[in-house]
């Protein structure tokens, strides 16, 4: 399962940063999200769809080939998995975070990853785990590092690369830890090589819960100790490497020669929260936040897409205005000869147009749509808010020739500047963070597959070095 999820995150992020296709335009869509960093990523393909479909494909394949494939419980479980995958895919559309092509390609990518694991996963894992030599595991780790190096550099500051590095670190740790754990002789070979000794029936729920709590504590402790240590001692080494001309600079990452030290508290894009954030995390689970409905650009990719769309609509509006003016000038002599009371009589009888249109009250979303459609920055500053908690009636933005005449290049430039100033930007990132993330998450993977199981045995929360029960 680790291979499936990490592959989905890496390859979908690879395509995102390579193609740099933005999320669906907002407005007219309203985005519903609980994560601010998710909106900073590109939209194609959908990583949520990739992971949901890959997991469902793999588990359904196992269920269909299980000895209980014809039982009612097996069928119900398969139905639940189909519902799970469909709910995630359709949910990304409903939330306005992806378009149809995003979720379709993401689902196909997930299906391919799941099928690869179904047909080749067991053979692949046996190849490096059961080998007496460390060479196969090292080859895999080297290939993972190459994949990290060739990850495309996006046009905008996108956090996809951070997620890919974290997944690469986890897989590297799992590969090395699984091989070493299997060679130690303490691992089980059933149901697969390098299985951590565990039997719920033999240990019971109290031991199992204590194992989970201890395992989480060890992982968080490792991260809290290693991350600040590496961020403190790696920059001098990176400066030496940079002075030798051996550095591998990456866009949007500051080189070590350009800073003195890395701030202690860095957000990891919510991959794993810090220990100090656990109380607030638990409170948010007890009292979930209201969903945030966002309207307008949230990333640089969104802003550029909005500006391109706005410019197109502005030109269309100018063309339409010129055509309307020419048509009106041609019809004015005919209108002058007509009876001036005809329109009024038709309006009273209900057969013609009304004397003047009624003013429409629109929401802030409609106001922003009108601004985008005409290319006019007519919304007052008090109404500029990307997160809509409630929609209140506000006057609509009118479109007329006078407004177009005042739409000067300097005014558009000022509007573009204000748009980019309101964007949520990723934090400053440092070159040492890539290696730091690789080491920290490789350690987490190794802890999960080997160190923690051995610690459980040492403190009396394991199987007392017993093998799996037969039958």
Give the number of other CB atoms < 10 A from CB of residue 78: 16
Query: Which residues, 6 or more positions from 372, have their beta carbon under 8 angstroms from its beta carbon?
Result: 27, 306, 309, 310, 313
Helices 47-64 and 72-94, axial angle in degrees (round to 10): 170
98 is an active site residue: yes
Phi, psi torsion values for 340, nearest 5 degrees: -65, -15
What is the DSSP secondary structure assignment for residue 39, as one 8-state letter? G
- DSSP string for 280-296: HHHHHHHSPPPPEEE-S
- Residue 48 designated active-site: yes
- In which residue are the tokens 């329109």 written? 343
Cα 283 from chain centroid (whole Å) = 23
DSSP, res 399: -
d(CA 353, CA 336): 18
**Neighbour-count burial for 425-446, b at 16+ CB within 10 Å, e otherwise:** ebeebbbbbbbbbbbbbbbbbb
Pairwise CA distance, residues 232 & 259, whole Å: 12
The active-site residue out of 48, 151, 182, 269 is 48
Place of tokens 């204000």: 418
**Marked catalytic residue, from 66, 98, 151, 287:** 98
Q: How many Å apart are CA 420 and CA 413, to the nearest integer? A: 11
Active site residues: 48, 98
């Amino acid at each position: 399962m680790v291979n499936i999820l990490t592959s989905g995150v890496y390859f979908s992020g690879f395509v995102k940063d390579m193609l740099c296709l933005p999320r669906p335009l907002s407005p007219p869509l309203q985005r519903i999200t609980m994560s601010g960093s998710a909106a900073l990523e590109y939209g194609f393909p959908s990583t949520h769809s990739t992971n949901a479909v890959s997991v469902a494909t793999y588990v359904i394949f196992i269920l269909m080939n299980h000895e209980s494939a014809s039982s009612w419980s097996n069928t119900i479980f398969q139905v639940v998995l189909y519902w799970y995958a469909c709910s995630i895919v359709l949910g990304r559309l409903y939330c306005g975070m992806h378009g149809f092509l995003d979720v379709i390609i993401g689902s196909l990518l997930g299906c391919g990853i799941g099928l690869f694991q179904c047909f080749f996963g067991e053979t692949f894992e046996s190849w490096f785990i059961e080998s007496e030599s460390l060479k196969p595991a090292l080859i895999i780790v080297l290939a993972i590092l190459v994949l990290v190096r060739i990850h495309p550099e996006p046009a905008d500051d996108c956090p996809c690369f951070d997620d890919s590095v974290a997944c690469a670190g986890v897989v590297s740790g799992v590969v090395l830890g699984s091989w070493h754990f299997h060679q130690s002789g303490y691992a089980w070979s059933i149901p697969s090589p390098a299985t951590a000794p565990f039997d719920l029936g033999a240990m019971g729920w109290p031991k199992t819960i204590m194992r989970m709590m201890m395992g989480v504590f060890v992982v968080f402790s490792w991260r809290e100790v290693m991350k600040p240590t590496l961020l403190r001692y790696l920059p001098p080494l990176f400066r030496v490497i940079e002075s030798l001309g051996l550095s591998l600079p990456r866009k949007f990452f500051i080189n070590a020669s350009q800073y003195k030290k890395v701030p202690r508290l860095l957000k990891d894009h919510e991959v794993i929260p810090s220990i100090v954030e656990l109380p607030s995390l638990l409170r948010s689970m007890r009292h979930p936040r209201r969903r945030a409905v966002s309207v307008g650009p949230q990333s640089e990719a969104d802003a550029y897409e909005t500006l391109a769309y706005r410019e197109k609509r502005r030109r269309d509006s100018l063309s339409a205005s010129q055509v309307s003016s020419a048509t009106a000038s041609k019809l004015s002599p005919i209108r002058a000869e007509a009876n001036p009371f005809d329109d009024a009589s038709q309006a009273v009888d209900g057969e013609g147009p009304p004397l003047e249109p009624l003013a429409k009250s629109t929401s802030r979303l409609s106001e922003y749509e009108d601004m985008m459609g005409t290319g006019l920055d007519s919304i007052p500053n008090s109404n500029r808010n990307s997160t809509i908690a409630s929609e209140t009636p506000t006057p609509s933005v009118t479109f007329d020739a006078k407004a177009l005449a005042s739409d000067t290049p300097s005014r558009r430039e000022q509007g573009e500047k204000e748009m980019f100033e309101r964007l949520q930007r990723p934090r400053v990132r440092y070159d040492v963070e890539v290696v730091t993330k690789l080491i920290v998450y490789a350690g987490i993977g190794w802890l999960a597959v080997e160190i923690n199981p051995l610690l459980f045995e040492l403190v009396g929360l394991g199987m007392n070095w017993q093998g799996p029960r037969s039958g």
